[in-house]
Every structure is written in structure tokens, then in C-alpha cells.
Amino acid sequence: MRLALNNLSVAYGRAPILSGFNAEVGQGEFIGLVGPNGSGKSCLLKTIAGLLKPKMGDVILDDDNLHTLPPKDRARKMSYLAQDRTAHWPLPVGQLVALGRAPYRGSLGKLSAQDELAIDHALDAAHCTDLKTRRFDQLSGGEQMRVHLARALAVDAPLLIADEPNTALDPYYQITLMNTLSAQIITGKTVIASLHDLSLAKQFCTRIWVVHQGGLVQDAPPDQALNKDILSQVFNIKWSGVHWEVLSPQLVLP
Amino acid sequence: MKLTLLIIFCLCMVLISISIGALHIPLPNVISAMLGRGSDIHVTIIQDLRLPRTVLALTIGAGLGASGAALQGYTRNPLADPGILGFSAVAALGAVVALYFGWYALVTPAALLGAGLGALLILAMAGRRKGASVLILAGVGIGALATALTGLIMNFAPNPWALSEIVYWLMGSLRNATKDGAILCGLLTLLGLGFLFFTGRDLRTLSLGEDTARSLGVSLGKVRLLLVIGVALCVGSGVAIAGAIGFIGLFVPHIMRGIFGADPARLIPLSALGGAGFLTFADILTRVLSGQGTVIYLGILTALIGAPFFIWIAAREGRA
């Protein structure tokens, strides 16, 4: 698996979100995508997942241009865990997780033995095997999040893209989730996840992308990436040695 | 087990629908008349009147039920239905235009044309923009416009007789069922059901929301196209024969969801079956309730049952 983002520019309507974004990802990496609210993290992840078409530049996955790949082929190469974690009908968990196998099935086919295996593995990895027969709408927010993670893992794709997978989880499951994602890269998969918790990003990711105002301002291992300058210039925060402090917003001259 | 009961319910409705009528025919004679044996008068009544009527109730009910289930699956909204999304209104407008000009032979093609054009218009408006919510808005808007134009045509009706013709037709009825009509409606509905069944798998994936479904390889444009063609065929052919029959597409999927679970893919065939059984039941009811001289129209009856149901769902959604 090799992913290349070449001079990527993306806009919502006329409002530019990302511009001139260049990066590369190889097999077995765990990229932590960090940046303030509105910096373009979700937009970048959606573009990599093929859900947004770039205005300029392209996303190359192995040897294919992602945005010209047939949808089912693309769906087998990457799995996307959206920020929106709804399920619109009160379906059983087993059936929702099985939807992760949609890219492999024809319009009428049944689940194959391989599908069943992938579903069981995913349920196990996301710690929700015991939820399999429960109804989704009767689960807690954290349990629903784990079910969605299992659904994304069931795709069993070489690349997993997760948009803020940690939200709505208690500390125990936040760390468990990071462990699950880390376990993915040991099996040769690649993970790109947007995160707000910088300490978790630092602990688990192999590389950090810092996004600020639609551009990649830092691409380095965690120890180098999350330095004092980045914290103050990008996040407007400072570690005093005892506690975190908020810096006064910088004046931007027009 | 539940499925078996549903099938038995449908079969019972078929038998009752064929058995009742102005002339009492004993059940053994009904069955032999269906096979073309027995007295000529029995064979004519069964084969030319009651059988087409029953087949029409089954096919129109199946088309409306499946359309409702598919539209609810696509919009992920339990209040979606071909009537509410404007499909019935544009089909009715086509038929009313034909009635206004007295082109009785063209009522069926005009309703189909209306449904097709309306579907294209709704599709074009929903366009490539984000799917479900825009489809609802486009459908409601175009439906309202079609209803207004239907009113305008009635406004300009040349004489009370033409006006009453339109009004009665809009109330929906299977009284004018014919063999040819049943065959035409049956074939078009089957074709439409085929399109709808093909959307099932993708509609199930859409339960996860549009972004996730797309990431799993679902093409929203393809689903919407199959859906709109399927609904236009089912609803257009039904409206063409029987006028506007509302609310079947709304509450049949709802009841099926309560009995068989919420899987949007399975709900399409199940709602087709349920709709077939229910509309046949409703048609039997209109015949039982209609006495000498007074006729209860099928569309009025389904609306009388369906509208309170709609209000009940809306109230329950509000509480949830």
C-alpha cells in the first residue's frame, strides 16, 4: 500500500478548504492527523476516502488515481470511519457490522465464509462480540462507536481512515481504541486518524501531520512534530511545565 | 412463520375478493370458473370482472407498498411515501389532462407519461446534490405544483359532467377494472418492482448514512435512478388504472417493519406482499360498505385509514 497526495486542493462550493497539500504514506504507518477545529482535517480525510473530489491535484493509491477508480474497487482498498455515527434504522449489531462486507458482495449474494470470518475478527478487535445480537439503537454512545469501528474493520482494507474515532469514548475505551488501531499496523495495514488528543497521538502514532489553515505545516515523528512552536503557533496553547495555558489569539493583519 | 401467515392472509383476501359480488357464486364454482369451467355467466363474471379487479388490487397494492418501502429506505425517513413525495400527484395530473380533453383512451398513457416526467423533474431537481433531503423537498414541491395544476384544470372544466368525472376518478376506484388494464398494470408493476428490488442491498448500506455508504462502494446516483424509475412505473401504472390511492406506501412498510424488523432490503418484497394483501382487503371493504346507490371510493377509504396513521407516526417520532 502506498498513498500519495499530490498538490491537493479541495473546496466546499467556492470556499477553499485545502490548498497545495503534498504528502506520502507507506504500509504499516499510523498517521495522526491533528490541527485546530476548522483546519481541514475532515475535509482531507473525506478526499482521501474518495468522498470529495479535489479541485486540483490527485490522490494516488498504489498505481491508481483514486477518483477514477470504480466505487467498489475503491471500497475494497480503503475503509472509512465517518464522524457521523448514526444508524438510521433499529438494526441488530451483527447486521450493521456485516455492511462492512458490502464491497465484496454482489447485489443479491449471501455472506461467504470469508465474510463471516472478517466480521467475527472485527467484532473481536473492537471489543463488541457480546453486542452482536443487540439492537443498535439500544446501545450507549460508546458502544455505538465501537460497533462503527467494528463495521470499518470488517472491510479488512489495507488502509483505514478514521475521523475523530475517539469522540464519545471514556478514557478506558479511548486507550483501547488506540491499541486496536495500533494492532492494525502490526498486521501490515495503514491507519490515518484525525485526533484531538495530542498526548494519545504522541503515544500511539508513528507519524504526525499537523494541519493548519488548509495546509500541511508539519509532517514528522510525534516527538518532533508536537513541539513548542507548533503548539503556540497552530494550537494557540502552551505547556507551562505545570499546566496548560491558552495564549491570547494572535492578531492577524489583513 | 410470520411470512407464512402473511402469505395466507393474502391468499384469503384473493379468495374473498373473487367470491363476493352482486351475484353469489359458491366457492367450488368460483374455482372452476377461474379455470374456465362451469356456466358461461359464471366464467364471464369471474374471468372478466372479478379476477381483473383482484389482480389490479394485488398489483397496485404491491407497487405502492414496495415504492413506499424503497423511498423510506432511501430517504431514511419513515414518513416518505409516493403520495407525499409527489409521484402520485404528477401521475394524476397526466390522467386529469386526458380526462379534461375527453381522451378516454389516453388516460393510461397520460398517467404514465405524467409519472415519468414528474420523476425526471424530481430527479433533475434532486440532481447531483446531496441525496435524500433534497429529494424530499423537490418531491413535495413538484407534488404541490401538480396538485395546483390539477385544481386549475378542474376550475376550467367545461361542464359539471366533466368535472364530476375528474373528481370521481381522483377518489380512486377499481370499479372499471378490465382484463387488458390488469395485464398492462401487472406487467408494468412487475418491471417497476424489479427496479426497486435491485436497490435493496444499497438501501441497507445507506442505513449508515450517505458518506459511509459511499465509502462502501454505493453509488447514490445509481440508487436514485433505479428508485425513481421503479417508483414511476409502479405508481404511474396504478394511478393510470385506479386513480389516486394514498397512504398504502406509508403505513404498509411501517407495519412490516414492526413485524419483520427494520432491514430496508427485506422490507421491499415484504411491503410488496403486505401492500397487495392490504389493498385487496380495502377493496373488499369498499364493496361490502357500498350499498345500493352509494359507493365508497377506494382512495377515500385508504386515506381515512392512512391519514390518522400518518398523524400517529408523526406524533410518535416527535416523542422519540
| Distant-in-sequence, close-in-space partners of A149: CB < 8 Å, separation ≥ 6 | A81, A126, A162, A165, A177, A180
Q: Does residue B81 surpass a pLDDT of 90? A: no
- CA distances to B18, B42, B62 from B46, rounded to whole Å, are 7, 6, 22
pLDDT on residue B293:
74
Q: Does residue B246 surpass a pLDDT of 80? A: yes
pLDDT on residue A212:
92
Q: Are B197 and B223 in contact (CB under 8 A)?
A: no
Q: Is B90 helix (H, G, I), strand (E, B) or coil?
A: helix
Q: Are A181 and A191 in contact (CB under 8 A)?
A: yes
Average pLDDT for residues A68-75, to the nearest whole number?
Answer: 92
Average pLDDT for residues B265-279, to the nearest whole number?
Answer: 96
pLDDT on residue A250:
57
The answer to whether position A41 is within a domain reads yes
Average pLDDT for residues A87-96, to the nearest whole number?
Answer: 92
Contact B263 A80 (CB under 8 A): no
pLDDT on residue A108:
55
**A211-220, B34-43, B273-282, range with greatest mean pLDDT:** B273-282
Q: Which domains does chain B have, with CATH numbers?
A: 2-319 (1.10.3470.10)
B198 to chain A, any CB pair closer than 8 A? The answer is yes
The answer to whether position A29 is within a domain reads yes
pLDDT on residue B319:
65
pLDDT on residue B1:
86
User: What is the value of ipTM here, to two decimals?
Assistant: 0.91
pLDDT on residue B128:
57
- Going by pLDDT thresholds of 50, 70 and 90, the confidence category of residue A252 is low
Distance CA A80, CA A64 (A): 18
Contact B209 A95 (CB under 8 A): no
pLDDT on residue A231:
87
Region for A36 from its dihedrals, namely left if φ exceeds 0, alpha if ψ lies in -120 to 50, beta otherwise:
beta
Residue B114, all three cell numbers: 405524467
* Bridge partners, residue A210, by sequence: A34, A218
Best to test chain B binding among A76, A88, A91, A111 (most B CBs inside 10 Å): A88
**DSSP collapsed to 3 states, chain A:** CCEEEEEEEEEECCEEEEEEEEEEECCCCEEEEECCCCCCHHHHHHHHCCCCCCCEEEEEECCEEHHHCCHHHHHHHEEEECCCCCCCCCCEHHHHHHHHHHHHCCCCCCCCHHHHHHHHHHHHHCCCHHHCCCEHHHCCHHHHHHHHHHHHHHCCCCEEEEECCCCCCCHHHHHHHHHHHHHHHHCCCEEEEECCCHHHHHHHCCEEEEEECCEEEEEECHHHHCCHHHHHHHHCEEECCCCEEECCCCCCCC
Average pLDDT for residues B76-99, to the nearest whole number?
Answer: 87
Domain limits for position A124: 3-246
- In chain A, the percentage of residues whose pLDDT exceeds 70 is 96
The answer to whether position A253 is within a domain reads no
| Chain A contacts in chain B segment 99-118 (CB below 8 A) | none
List the single range of B58-72, B93-107, B179-193 with lowest mean pLDDT. B93-107
Contact B262 A105 (CB under 8 A): no
Residue B206: list chain A partners with CB under 8 A.
88
- Going by pLDDT thresholds of 50, 70 and 90, the confidence category of residue A106 is low
Query: Any idea what the CATH number is for the domain that residue A208 is in?
Result: 3.40.50.300
pLDDT on residue A86:
85
Q: Does residue A251 surpass a pLDDT of 80? A: no
Contact A102 B215 (CB under 8 A): no
Region for A25 from its dihedrals, namely left if φ exceeds 0, alpha if ψ lies in -120 to 50, beta otherwise:
beta
pLDDT on residue A28:
94
Q: Does residue A136 surpass a pLDDT of 90? A: yes
The answer to whether position A13 is within a domain reads yes
Is A191 or B95 the better-scoring residue by pLDDT?
A191
The answer to whether position A166 is within a domain reads yes
The answer to whether position A75 is within a domain reads yes
Q: Which of A76, A82, A151 sits opposite B211 (nearest CB)?
A: A82
Q: Which of B201, B217, B263 sits opposite A91 (nearest CB)?
A: B263
Q: Are B25 and B19 in contact (CB under 8 A)?
A: yes
Ramachandran angles phi, psi of A15, nearest 5°: -80, 115
List the single range of A25-34, A131-140, B26-35, B47-56 with lowest mean pLDDT. B26-35
CA distance A80 to chain B (A): 6
A and B: number of Cβ contacts within 8 A:
78
What mean pLDDT, rounded, does chain B reach?
Answer: 88
Q: Does residue B317 surpass a pLDDT of 80? A: no
Average pLDDT for residues B251-276, to the nearest whole number?
Answer: 94
Contact B207 A99 (CB under 8 A): yes
Q: Which of B76, B217, B257 sits opposite A102 (nearest CB)?
A: B217
Best to test chain B binding among A59, A89, A95 (most B CBs inside 10 Å): A89
Q: Which residue is listed with cell 414518513?
A: B79
Helix axis angle, B2-19 relative to B51-75, nearest 10°?
A: 140
The answer to whether position A52 is within a domain reads yes
Is B214 or A247 the better-scoring residue by pLDDT?
B214
What mean pLDDT, rounded, does chain A reach?
Answer: 90
Q: Does residue A158 surpass a pLDDT of 80? A: yes
Ramachandran angles phi, psi of B26, nearest 5°: -60, 150
First to last CA, chain B: 30
pLDDT on residue B318:
65
- In chain A, the percentage of residues whose pLDDT exceeds 90 is 67
Q: Structural domain tally of chain A?
A: 1
Contact A49 B207 (CB under 8 A): no
Average pLDDT for residues B21-44, to the nearest whole number?
Answer: 83
- Going by pLDDT thresholds of 50, 70 and 90, the confidence category of residue B270 is very high
Q: Are B273 and B7 in contact (CB under 8 A)?
A: yes
The answer to whether position A251 is within a domain reads no
Q: Does residue A169 surpass a pLDDT of 80? A: yes
Residue A231, all three cell numbers: 503548539
Is B9 or B128 the better-scoring residue by pLDDT?
B9
